Structure 1
Protein backbone atom coordinates (compact mmCIF):
# COMPACT_ATOMS: atom_id res chain seq x y z
CA UNK A 1 0.00 0.00 0.00
CA UNK A 2 1.13 3.55 -0.67
CA UNK A 3 1.36 5.34 2.67
CA UNK A 4 3.57 8.35 1.88
CA UNK A 5 1.45 10.05 -0.75
CA UNK A 6 0.12 13.44 0.21
CA UNK A 7 -3.60 14.10 0.26
CA UNK A 8 -3.20 16.32 -2.78
CA UNK A 9 -1.47 13.55 -4.73
CA UNK A 10 -4.20 11.09 -3.78
CA UNK A 11 -6.89 13.60 -4.71
CA UNK A 12 -5.52 14.14 -8.20
CA UNK A 13 -4.84 10.42 -8.68
CA UNK A 14 -8.51 9.67 -7.96
CA UNK A 15 -9.74 12.42 -10.28
CA UNK A 16 -7.45 11.19 -13.06
CA UNK A 17 -8.62 7.59 -12.62
CA UNK A 18 -12.30 8.55 -12.73
CA UNK A 19 -11.70 10.74 -15.78
CA UNK A 20 -9.77 8.01 -17.61
CA UNK A 21 -12.23 5.21 -16.87
CA UNK A 22 -15.30 7.44 -17.39
CA UNK A 23 -17.51 4.97 -15.50
CA UNK A 24 -18.91 4.66 -11.99
CA UNK A 25 -16.51 2.79 -9.70
CA UNK A 26 -16.64 1.12 -6.29
CA UNK A 27 -14.59 2.53 -3.45
CA UNK A 28 -12.71 -0.77 -3.23
CA UNK A 29 -11.86 -0.71 -6.95
CA UNK A 30 -10.59 2.86 -6.76
CA UNK A 31 -8.43 2.11 -3.72
CA UNK A 32 -7.06 -1.11 -5.20
CA UNK A 33 -6.26 0.44 -8.58
CA UNK A 34 -4.34 3.28 -6.93
CA UNK A 35 -2.86 1.15 -4.13
CA UNK A 36 -4.41 3.34 -1.46
CA UNK A 37 -5.74 2.54 1.98
CA UNK A 38 -9.51 2.24 1.64
CA UNK A 39 -10.12 4.47 4.65
CA UNK A 40 -7.90 7.16 3.13
CA UNK A 41 -9.52 6.84 -0.29
CA UNK A 42 -12.94 7.17 1.34
CA UNK A 43 -11.92 10.39 3.10
CA UNK A 44 -10.64 11.92 -0.15
CA UNK A 45 -13.74 10.84 -2.07
CA UNK A 46 -16.05 12.24 0.61
CA UNK A 47 -14.30 15.61 0.33
CA UNK A 48 -14.45 15.55 -3.47
CA UNK A 49 -18.19 14.77 -3.32
CA UNK A 50 -18.73 17.65 -0.86
CA UNK A 51 -16.86 20.03 -3.18
CA UNK A 52 -18.77 18.88 -6.26
CA UNK A 53 -15.89 17.28 -8.17
CA UNK A 54 -17.24 13.75 -7.75
CA UNK A 55 -20.77 12.34 -7.52
CA UNK A 56 -21.91 9.31 -5.53
CA UNK A 57 -24.86 7.23 -6.67
CA UNK A 58 -27.41 6.94 -3.84
CA UNK A 59 -28.53 3.46 -4.93
CA UNK A 60 -25.15 1.78 -5.47
CA UNK A 61 -22.70 4.04 -3.56
CA UNK A 62 -20.51 4.00 -6.69
CA UNK A 63 -18.45 7.11 -7.49
CA UNK A 64 -18.19 8.94 -10.80
CA UNK A 65 -16.64 12.17 -12.00
CA UNK A 66 -19.02 15.12 -12.05
CA UNK A 67 -19.13 17.61 -14.91
CA UNK A 68 -17.25 20.25 -12.90
CA UNK A 69 -13.78 19.22 -14.09
CA UNK A 70 -14.75 18.83 -17.79
CA UNK A 71 -16.46 22.23 -17.62
CA UNK A 72 -13.30 23.87 -16.32
CA UNK A 73 -11.28 22.16 -19.03
CA UNK A 74 -13.72 23.44 -21.65
CA UNK A 75 -13.41 26.98 -20.31
CA UNK A 76 -9.62 26.71 -20.49
CA UNK A 77 -9.78 25.54 -24.10
CA UNK A 78 -12.01 28.45 -24.96
CA UNK A 79 -9.70 30.92 -23.21
CA UNK A 80 -6.67 29.48 -25.00
CA UNK A 81 -8.54 29.89 -28.33
CA UNK A 82 -7.81 26.28 -29.29
CA UNK A 83 -11.24 25.43 -30.78
CA UNK A 84 -11.71 28.72 -32.62
CA UNK A 85 -8.24 28.84 -34.16
CA UNK A 86 -7.69 25.17 -34.98
CA UNK A 87 -11.19 23.86 -35.74
CA UNK A 88 -11.31 25.19 -39.33
CA UNK A 89 -8.21 23.14 -40.16
CA UNK A 90 -9.81 19.99 -38.73
CA UNK A 91 -13.03 20.68 -40.64
CA UNK A 92 -11.11 21.09 -43.89
CA UNK A 93 -9.21 17.82 -43.47
CA UNK A 94 -12.43 16.02 -42.54
CA UNK A 95 -14.13 17.28 -45.71
CA UNK A 96 -11.18 16.31 -47.91
CA UNK A 97 -10.75 12.82 -46.46
CA UNK A 98 -14.41 12.14 -45.63
CA UNK A 99 -13.24 10.59 -42.39
CA UNK A 100 -13.22 11.37 -38.67
CA UNK A 101 -10.39 13.73 -37.65
CA UNK A 102 -9.15 14.10 -34.07
CA UNK A 103 -6.70 16.47 -32.43
CA UNK A 104 -4.88 15.64 -29.19
CA UNK A 105 -2.75 17.93 -27.05
CA UNK A 106 0.39 16.77 -25.26
CA UNK A 107 0.56 17.46 -21.53
CA UNK A 108 2.26 15.63 -18.65
CA UNK A 109 3.46 12.90 -21.03
CA UNK A 110 -0.10 12.11 -22.09
CA UNK A 111 -2.11 12.83 -25.21
CA UNK A 112 -5.56 14.21 -24.45
CA UNK A 113 -8.25 14.52 -27.14
CA UNK A 114 -9.35 18.17 -27.37
CA UNK A 115 -11.19 18.54 -30.70
CA UNK A 116 -12.60 16.58 -33.63
CA UNK A 117 -14.37 16.93 -36.96
CA UNK A 118 -16.55 14.38 -38.77
CA UNK A 119 -16.23 14.23 -42.54
CA UNK A 120 -18.06 10.99 -43.25
CA UNK A 121 -21.79 10.89 -43.87
CA UNK A 122 -24.59 8.40 -43.44
CA UNK A 123 -23.51 4.78 -43.26
CA UNK A 124 -19.87 5.75 -43.81
CA UNK A 125 -19.55 7.40 -40.38
CA UNK A 126 -16.85 5.83 -38.19
CA UNK A 127 -18.28 4.61 -34.88
CA UNK A 128 -15.06 4.96 -32.96
CA UNK A 129 -14.71 5.14 -29.20
CA UNK A 130 -13.36 8.45 -27.86
CA UNK A 131 -10.38 8.03 -25.54
CA UNK A 132 -10.05 11.12 -23.31
CA UNK A 133 -6.43 10.11 -22.71
CA UNK A 134 -5.01 8.12 -25.62
CA UNK A 135 -3.45 4.70 -24.98
CA UNK A 136 0.04 5.45 -26.28
CA UNK A 137 1.14 1.94 -27.27
CA UNK A 138 -1.89 1.08 -29.42
CA UNK A 139 -2.91 4.40 -30.97
CA UNK A 140 -1.49 5.92 -34.14
CA UNK A 141 -1.07 9.23 -32.30
CA UNK A 142 0.75 7.61 -29.41
CA UNK A 143 3.10 5.69 -31.68
CA UNK A 144 4.05 8.66 -33.84
CA UNK A 145 4.82 10.77 -30.75
CA UNK A 146 6.80 7.98 -29.07
CA UNK A 147 8.76 7.44 -32.30
CA UNK A 148 10.14 10.98 -31.91
CA UNK A 149 11.58 10.20 -28.46
CA UNK A 150 14.76 8.35 -27.48
CA UNK A 151 13.89 4.66 -27.53
CA UNK A 152 14.52 4.14 -23.80
CA UNK A 153 12.09 6.92 -22.88
CA UNK A 154 9.56 5.82 -25.52
CA UNK A 155 9.62 2.26 -24.19
CA UNK A 156 9.03 3.44 -20.63
CA UNK A 157 6.04 5.50 -21.77
CA UNK A 158 4.67 2.50 -23.70
CA UNK A 159 5.07 0.15 -20.74
CA UNK A 160 3.31 2.66 -18.50
CA UNK A 161 0.52 2.82 -21.08
CA UNK A 162 -0.03 -0.93 -21.02
CA UNK A 163 2.46 -2.56 -23.39
CA UNK A 164 2.97 -6.17 -22.29
CA UNK A 165 -0.38 -6.29 -20.51
CA UNK A 166 -2.68 -7.30 -23.40
CA UNK A 167 -6.38 -7.92 -23.16
CA UNK A 168 -8.10 -4.53 -22.89
CA UNK A 169 -7.44 -3.21 -26.40
CA UNK A 170 -8.04 -4.40 -29.98
CA UNK A 171 -7.26 -7.83 -31.46
CA UNK A 172 -4.12 -6.61 -33.27
CA UNK A 173 -2.52 -5.03 -30.18
CA UNK A 174 1.29 -5.28 -30.21
CA UNK A 175 2.27 -7.47 -27.29
CA UNK A 176 6.09 -7.60 -27.12
CA UNK A 177 8.80 -5.02 -26.59
CA UNK A 178 10.77 -6.12 -29.68
CA UNK A 179 7.73 -5.83 -31.95
CA UNK A 180 6.93 -2.42 -30.52
CA UNK A 181 10.45 -1.09 -31.04
CA UNK A 182 10.32 -2.32 -34.66
CA UNK A 183 7.00 -0.52 -35.09
CA UNK A 184 8.50 2.71 -33.77
CA UNK A 185 11.35 2.41 -36.27
CA UNK A 186 8.90 1.97 -39.15
CA UNK A 187 6.84 4.91 -37.88
CA UNK A 188 9.89 7.18 -37.70
CA UNK A 189 10.92 6.25 -41.25
CA UNK A 190 7.57 7.08 -42.86
CA UNK A 191 6.80 10.11 -40.65
CA UNK A 192 3.33 9.05 -39.54
CA UNK A 193 1.83 6.46 -37.23
CA UNK A 194 -0.57 3.69 -38.19
CA UNK A 195 -2.77 1.58 -35.94
CA UNK A 196 -5.14 -1.07 -37.31
CA UNK A 197 -7.49 -2.72 -34.81
CA UNK A 198 -4.98 -2.10 -32.04
CA UNK A 199 -6.90 0.31 -29.82
CA UNK A 200 -10.29 -1.17 -30.69
CA UNK A 201 -11.75 -3.79 -33.00
CA UNK A 202 -12.56 -2.82 -36.61
CA UNK A 203 -11.10 0.70 -36.22
CA UNK A 204 -7.86 2.10 -37.63
CA UNK A 205 -6.08 5.44 -37.67
CA UNK A 206 -3.21 7.36 -39.25
CA UNK A 207 -1.56 10.18 -37.26
CA UNK A 208 1.21 12.78 -37.35
CA UNK A 209 2.87 14.88 -34.66
CA UNK A 210 2.19 18.61 -34.41
CA UNK A 211 5.55 20.28 -33.77
CA UNK A 212 5.81 23.89 -32.60
CA UNK A 213 8.16 26.49 -34.05
CA UNK A 214 10.61 25.73 -31.25
CA UNK A 215 10.79 22.10 -32.38
CA UNK A 216 8.77 20.77 -29.47
CA UNK A 217 5.89 18.31 -29.94
CA UNK A 218 2.65 19.91 -28.75
CA UNK A 219 0.06 17.45 -29.99
CA UNK A 220 -1.00 14.96 -32.64
CA UNK A 221 -3.46 14.96 -35.53
CA UNK A 222 -5.20 11.69 -36.42
CA UNK A 223 -7.52 10.52 -39.17
CA UNK A 224 -9.72 7.69 -37.88
CA UNK A 225 -11.62 5.26 -40.12
CA UNK A 226 -13.01 1.74 -40.26
CA UNK A 227 -10.05 -0.63 -40.64
CA UNK A 228 -11.39 -2.10 -43.89
CA UNK A 229 -10.99 1.30 -45.57
CA UNK A 230 -7.32 1.57 -44.62
CA UNK A 231 -5.42 -0.54 -47.15
CA UNK A 232 -1.77 0.34 -47.77
CA UNK A 233 -2.52 2.81 -50.55
CA UNK A 234 -5.11 4.58 -48.41
CA UNK A 235 -2.72 4.64 -45.45
CA UNK A 236 -0.05 6.33 -47.57
CA UNK A 237 -2.56 8.84 -48.95
CA UNK A 238 -3.89 9.74 -45.51
CA UNK A 239 -0.35 9.80 -44.15
CA UNK A 240 0.58 12.64 -46.47
CA UNK A 241 -2.65 14.49 -45.67
CA UNK A 242 -2.23 14.14 -41.94
CA UNK A 243 1.39 15.35 -42.11
CA UNK A 244 0.34 18.39 -44.12
CA UNK A 245 -2.48 19.06 -41.68
CA UNK A 246 -0.15 18.78 -38.69
CA UNK A 247 2.24 21.26 -40.30
CA UNK A 248 -0.62 23.72 -40.84
CA UNK A 249 -1.78 23.33 -37.24
CA UNK A 250 1.76 23.99 -36.02
CA UNK A 251 1.67 27.43 -37.62
CA UNK A 252 -1.55 28.28 -35.79
CA UNK A 253 -1.06 26.53 -32.45
CA UNK A 254 -2.17 29.02 -29.77
CA UNK A 255 -0.07 27.44 -27.04
CA UNK A 256 3.26 27.81 -28.82
CA UNK A 257 4.04 30.88 -26.70
CA UNK A 258 3.59 28.75 -23.59
CA UNK A 259 5.99 26.17 -25.00
CA UNK A 260 8.48 28.96 -25.69
CA UNK A 261 8.18 30.21 -22.12
CA UNK A 262 8.74 26.69 -20.82
CA UNK A 263 11.84 26.38 -22.95
CA UNK A 264 13.11 29.75 -21.67
CA UNK A 265 12.54 28.61 -18.10
CA UNK A 266 14.46 25.40 -18.79
CA UNK A 267 17.34 27.39 -20.25
CA UNK A 268 17.37 29.75 -17.28
CA UNK A 269 17.37 26.84 -14.84
CA UNK A 270 20.27 25.27 -16.72
Structure 2
Protein backbone atom coordinates (compact mmCIF):
# COMPACT_ATOMS: atom_id res chain seq x y z
CA UNK A 1 0.00 0.00 0.00
CA UNK A 2 2.75 2.44 0.99
CA UNK A 3 4.85 1.58 -2.06
CA UNK A 4 1.83 2.09 -4.30
CA UNK A 5 1.18 5.51 -2.80
CA UNK A 6 4.82 6.54 -3.18
CA UNK A 7 4.85 5.36 -6.79
CA UNK A 8 1.69 7.34 -7.53
CA UNK A 9 3.12 10.49 -5.97
CA UNK A 10 6.27 10.23 -8.08
CA UNK A 11 4.16 9.51 -11.15
CA UNK A 12 2.20 12.69 -10.42
CA UNK A 13 5.41 14.71 -10.08
CA UNK A 14 6.74 13.24 -13.35
CA UNK A 15 3.43 14.10 -15.05
CA UNK A 16 3.60 17.74 -13.99
CA UNK A 17 7.35 18.15 -14.62
CA UNK A 18 7.15 18.72 -18.42
CA UNK A 19 4.18 21.09 -18.08
CA UNK A 20 5.06 24.76 -17.83
CA UNK A 21 1.40 25.63 -17.44
CA UNK A 22 -0.92 24.37 -14.72
CA UNK A 23 -3.07 21.26 -15.17
CA UNK A 24 -6.63 20.68 -14.02
CA UNK A 25 -7.49 17.99 -11.49
CA UNK A 26 -9.61 15.99 -13.92
CA UNK A 27 -6.81 15.78 -16.50
CA UNK A 28 -4.30 14.72 -13.85
CA UNK A 29 -6.58 11.94 -12.64
CA UNK A 30 -7.33 10.81 -16.18
CA UNK A 31 -3.70 10.67 -17.27
CA UNK A 32 -2.66 8.83 -14.11
CA UNK A 33 -5.59 6.43 -14.42
CA UNK A 34 -6.90 7.08 -10.90
CA UNK A 35 -10.02 8.55 -9.28
CA UNK A 36 -10.27 12.32 -8.85
CA UNK A 37 -10.51 11.88 -5.08
CA UNK A 38 -7.22 9.96 -4.99
CA UNK A 39 -5.51 12.55 -7.17
CA UNK A 40 -6.86 15.34 -5.00
CA UNK A 41 -5.50 13.71 -1.83
CA UNK A 42 -2.02 13.39 -3.32
CA UNK A 43 -2.07 16.96 -4.63
CA UNK A 44 -3.16 18.22 -1.23
CA UNK A 45 -0.25 16.48 0.49
CA UNK A 46 2.26 17.69 -2.13
CA UNK A 47 0.85 21.18 -1.79
CA UNK A 48 1.25 21.11 1.99
CA UNK A 49 4.93 20.12 1.78
CA UNK A 50 5.74 22.66 -0.92
CA UNK A 51 6.08 20.54 -4.06
CA UNK A 52 2.86 21.64 -5.77
CA UNK A 53 1.03 24.94 -5.96
CA UNK A 54 -2.58 25.66 -6.91
CA UNK A 55 -3.68 28.63 -8.95
CA UNK A 56 -6.06 30.64 -6.79
CA UNK A 57 -8.14 31.69 -9.81
CA UNK A 58 -8.46 28.51 -11.88
CA UNK A 59 -7.77 25.89 -9.21
CA UNK A 60 -5.28 24.22 -11.57
CA UNK A 61 -2.10 22.60 -10.22
CA UNK A 62 1.57 22.87 -11.15
CA UNK A 63 4.94 22.07 -9.62
CA UNK A 64 6.78 24.65 -7.55
CA UNK A 65 10.46 25.33 -8.21
CA UNK A 66 11.46 23.01 -5.37
CA UNK A 67 12.12 20.09 -7.71
CA UNK A 68 14.26 22.23 -10.02
CA UNK A 69 16.24 23.63 -7.10
CA UNK A 70 16.93 20.18 -5.66
CA UNK A 71 17.92 18.93 -9.10
CA UNK A 72 20.40 21.76 -9.53
CA UNK A 73 21.84 21.08 -6.08
CA UNK A 74 22.32 17.41 -6.89
CA UNK A 75 23.84 18.14 -10.29
CA UNK A 76 26.23 20.62 -8.70
CA UNK A 77 27.28 18.10 -6.05
CA UNK A 78 28.23 15.54 -8.72
CA UNK A 79 30.55 18.07 -10.42
CA UNK A 80 29.54 16.43 -13.70
CA UNK A 81 29.01 19.69 -15.58
CA UNK A 82 32.22 21.18 -14.15
CA UNK A 83 34.30 18.23 -15.33
CA UNK A 84 32.71 18.10 -18.79
CA UNK A 85 32.46 21.84 -19.42
CA UNK A 86 35.89 22.39 -21.05
CA UNK A 87 35.33 19.63 -23.62
CA UNK A 88 31.86 20.95 -24.44
CA UNK A 89 33.14 24.51 -24.77
CA UNK A 90 35.88 23.41 -27.15
CA UNK A 91 33.37 21.58 -29.37
CA UNK A 92 31.05 24.62 -29.35
CA UNK A 93 33.91 26.95 -30.31
CA UNK A 94 35.19 24.70 -33.11
CA UNK A 95 31.76 23.96 -34.58
CA UNK A 96 30.35 27.47 -34.01
CA UNK A 97 27.01 25.81 -33.24
CA UNK A 98 24.96 24.78 -30.22
CA UNK A 99 26.44 21.90 -28.20
CA UNK A 100 24.24 19.89 -25.83
CA UNK A 101 24.84 17.00 -23.45
CA UNK A 102 22.29 14.56 -22.06
CA UNK A 103 22.61 11.81 -19.46
CA UNK A 104 20.97 8.39 -19.40
CA UNK A 105 18.17 8.17 -16.83
CA UNK A 106 16.62 4.73 -16.77
CA UNK A 107 15.48 4.17 -20.35
CA UNK A 108 15.53 7.76 -21.48
CA UNK A 109 17.79 10.81 -21.70
CA UNK A 110 17.71 14.07 -19.76
CA UNK A 111 19.29 17.32 -20.96
CA UNK A 112 21.79 18.71 -18.45
CA UNK A 113 24.04 21.12 -20.32
CA UNK A 114 24.20 23.32 -23.40
CA UNK A 115 26.71 25.82 -24.77
CA UNK A 116 26.06 28.22 -27.64
CA UNK A 117 28.98 28.33 -30.04
CA UNK A 118 27.43 30.59 -32.67
CA UNK A 119 28.70 34.12 -32.21
CA UNK A 120 27.09 35.77 -35.21
CA UNK A 121 24.07 35.32 -37.45
CA UNK A 122 21.20 32.94 -36.83
CA UNK A 123 21.39 31.10 -33.50
CA UNK A 124 19.48 27.95 -32.65
CA UNK A 125 17.81 28.14 -29.24
CA UNK A 126 16.01 24.89 -28.38
CA UNK A 127 12.81 24.59 -26.42
CA UNK A 128 13.42 24.40 -22.68
CA UNK A 129 12.41 20.82 -21.87
CA UNK A 130 14.14 18.26 -19.68
CA UNK A 131 13.46 14.98 -21.44
CA UNK A 132 15.00 14.12 -24.81
CA UNK A 133 12.64 12.91 -27.53
CA UNK A 134 14.23 9.57 -28.33
CA UNK A 135 12.83 8.87 -31.78
CA UNK A 136 13.11 12.32 -33.36
CA UNK A 137 16.37 13.77 -32.01
CA UNK A 138 19.93 12.91 -32.93
CA UNK A 139 20.72 12.37 -29.23
CA UNK A 140 17.83 9.95 -28.86
CA UNK A 141 18.81 8.05 -31.98
CA UNK A 142 22.45 7.85 -30.86
CA UNK A 143 21.34 6.40 -27.52
CA UNK A 144 18.95 3.88 -29.08
CA UNK A 145 21.75 2.70 -31.38
CA UNK A 146 23.72 1.49 -28.34
CA UNK A 147 20.96 -0.96 -27.40
CA UNK A 148 19.95 -4.31 -28.84
CA UNK A 149 17.50 -4.15 -31.75
CA UNK A 150 14.71 -5.53 -29.57
CA UNK A 151 15.30 -3.11 -26.70
CA UNK A 152 15.69 -0.13 -29.00
CA UNK A 153 12.40 -0.83 -30.79
CA UNK A 154 10.55 -1.49 -27.53
CA UNK A 155 11.76 1.73 -25.91
CA UNK A 156 11.13 3.75 -29.06
CA UNK A 157 7.55 2.55 -29.41
CA UNK A 158 6.85 3.11 -25.70
CA UNK A 159 8.25 6.65 -25.66
CA UNK A 160 5.67 9.50 -25.56
CA UNK A 161 6.16 10.42 -29.22
CA UNK A 162 7.25 6.98 -30.36
CA UNK A 163 4.34 5.62 -32.37
CA UNK A 164 3.80 8.93 -34.15
CA UNK A 165 7.44 9.44 -35.17
CA UNK A 166 8.88 5.94 -35.59
CA UNK A 167 7.06 5.35 -38.85
CA UNK A 168 7.43 1.81 -40.18
CA UNK A 169 9.42 -0.75 -38.21
CA UNK A 170 11.49 -1.46 -41.34
CA UNK A 171 12.54 2.19 -41.68
CA UNK A 172 13.29 2.43 -37.97
CA UNK A 173 15.51 -0.66 -38.04
CA UNK A 174 17.29 0.52 -41.17
CA UNK A 175 18.10 3.87 -39.53
CA UNK A 176 19.06 2.14 -36.26
CA UNK A 177 21.52 -0.20 -37.98
CA UNK A 178 23.06 2.68 -39.93
CA UNK A 179 23.58 4.63 -36.70
CA UNK A 180 25.14 1.57 -35.06
CA UNK A 181 27.51 1.05 -37.98
CA UNK A 182 28.82 4.62 -38.15
CA UNK A 183 28.71 5.37 -34.42
CA UNK A 184 26.73 8.59 -34.68
CA UNK A 185 23.22 9.73 -35.53
CA UNK A 186 21.67 12.66 -37.33
CA UNK A 187 18.31 14.41 -37.23
CA UNK A 188 17.49 16.56 -40.24
CA UNK A 189 14.50 18.75 -39.43
CA UNK A 190 12.82 15.85 -37.59
CA UNK A 191 12.73 17.26 -34.07
CA UNK A 192 12.31 20.88 -35.17
CA UNK A 193 11.80 22.49 -38.59
CA UNK A 194 14.94 24.07 -39.99
CA UNK A 195 17.27 22.39 -37.50
CA UNK A 196 19.95 19.74 -38.06
CA UNK A 197 21.65 17.90 -35.21
CA UNK A 198 24.41 15.30 -35.05
CA UNK A 199 25.03 13.26 -31.89
CA UNK A 200 27.22 10.46 -30.53
CA UNK A 201 26.95 8.30 -27.40
CA UNK A 202 29.21 8.79 -24.40
CA UNK A 203 30.50 5.46 -23.09
CA UNK A 204 32.80 4.61 -20.21
CA UNK A 205 35.84 2.40 -20.73
CA UNK A 206 34.00 -0.44 -18.99
CA UNK A 207 31.28 -0.30 -21.62
CA UNK A 208 28.10 1.33 -20.22
CA UNK A 209 26.67 4.28 -22.12
CA UNK A 210 26.14 7.20 -19.74
CA UNK A 211 24.95 9.94 -22.06
CA UNK A 212 25.12 11.65 -25.44
CA UNK A 213 26.63 14.81 -26.88
CA UNK A 214 25.49 16.72 -29.95
CA UNK A 215 26.01 19.67 -32.22
CA UNK A 216 22.90 21.38 -33.59
CA UNK A 217 22.26 24.39 -35.79
CA UNK A 218 20.15 25.90 -38.56
CA UNK A 219 19.94 23.69 -41.64
CA UNK A 220 20.97 26.68 -43.74
CA UNK A 221 24.36 26.63 -42.03
CA UNK A 222 24.77 23.02 -40.89
CA UNK A 223 24.67 21.72 -44.47
CA UNK A 224 25.38 18.23 -45.79
CA UNK A 225 28.99 19.07 -46.69
CA UNK A 226 29.65 19.63 -42.95
CA UNK A 227 28.07 16.41 -41.70
CA UNK A 228 31.21 14.26 -41.74
CA UNK A 229 33.47 16.83 -40.09
CA UNK A 230 30.89 17.64 -37.42
CA UNK A 231 30.28 13.96 -36.77
CA UNK A 232 33.99 13.35 -36.37
CA UNK A 233 34.29 16.22 -33.90
CA UNK A 234 31.26 15.03 -31.94
CA UNK A 235 32.64 11.49 -31.71
CA UNK A 236 36.00 12.80 -30.56
CA UNK A 237 34.33 14.86 -27.84
CA UNK A 238 32.20 11.86 -26.81
CA UNK A 239 35.35 9.77 -26.35
CA UNK A 240 36.94 12.56 -24.33
CA UNK A 241 33.87 12.85 -22.12
CA UNK A 242 33.90 9.09 -21.61
CA UNK A 243 37.45 9.38 -20.30
CA UNK A 244 36.58 12.34 -18.06
CA UNK A 245 33.42 10.79 -16.63
CA UNK A 246 35.18 8.38 -14.22
CA UNK A 247 37.14 11.31 -12.78
CA UNK A 248 33.86 12.71 -11.51
CA UNK A 249 33.08 9.33 -9.90
CA UNK A 250 36.46 9.12 -8.20
CA UNK A 251 36.26 12.75 -7.14
CA UNK A 252 32.90 12.13 -5.49
CA UNK A 253 34.23 9.02 -3.75
CA UNK A 254 37.34 10.69 -2.39
CA UNK A 255 35.33 13.63 -1.19
CA UNK A 256 33.17 11.33 0.88
CA UNK A 257 36.13 9.40 2.23
TM-score clears 0.5:
yes
Superposed CA deviations along residues 118-158 of structure 1, whole A, max 9, x for unmatched, are 10124321122133010111111111111111111101110
Superposed CA deviations along residues 68-103 of structure 1, whole A, max 9, x for unmatched, are 111111111111111211111111111111111111
CA–CA separation in structure 2 for the residues paired with 1:236 and 1:28: 49
Structure 2 equivalent of residue 265 of structure 1:
none
SS in 2 for 1:132: coil
Q: Does 1:21 align with 2:19?
A: yes
Q: Does 1:201 align with 2:199?
A: no
| 1:257 Cα offset (Å) | 4.0
SS in 2 for 1:21: coil
CA contact (8 A) 1:55 1:63 kept: yes
Change (3 A) 1:189 1:253: same
SS in 1 for 2:220: helix
Superposed CA deviations along residues 37-66 of structure 1, whole A, max 9, x for unmatched, are 221111111111111111111111111111
SS in 2 for 1:126: coil
| 1:241 Cα offset (Å) | 0.7
Unaligned ranges ≥5, structure 2: none
1:74 equivalent among 72, 75, 79? 72
CA–CA separation in structure 2 for the residues paired with 1:138 and 1:113: 15
CA–CA separation in structure 1 for the residues paired with 2:25 and 2:196: 35
Structure 1 equivalent of residue 93 of structure 2:
95
SS in 2 for 1:75: helix
| 1:162 Cα offset (Å) | 3.8
CA–CA separation in structure 1 for the residues paired with 2:190 and 2:83: 31
CA–CA separation in structure 2 for the residues paired with 1:102 and 1:71: 21
Structure 2 equivalent of residue 170 of structure 1:
none
CA–CA separation in structure 1 for the residues paired with 2:130 and 2:205: 26
CA contact (8 A) 1:128 1:203 kept: no
Q: Does 1:210 align with 2:208?
A: no
> TM-score when scaled to structure 2?
0.91
Structure 1 equivalent of residue 178 of structure 2:
186
CA contact (8 A) 1:163 1:176 kept: no
Change (3 A) 1:39 1:227: farther
Unaligned ranges ≥5, structure 1: 167-172, 262-270
CA–CA separation in structure 2 for the residues paired with 1:187 and 1:123: 31
Structure 1 equivalent of residue 233 of structure 2:
241
Moved over 6 A (4+): none
Structure 2 equivalent of residue 266 of structure 1:
none
Task: Compute the RMSD of aligned alpha carbons.
Answer: 2.1
Structure 1 equivalent of residue 150 of structure 2:
152
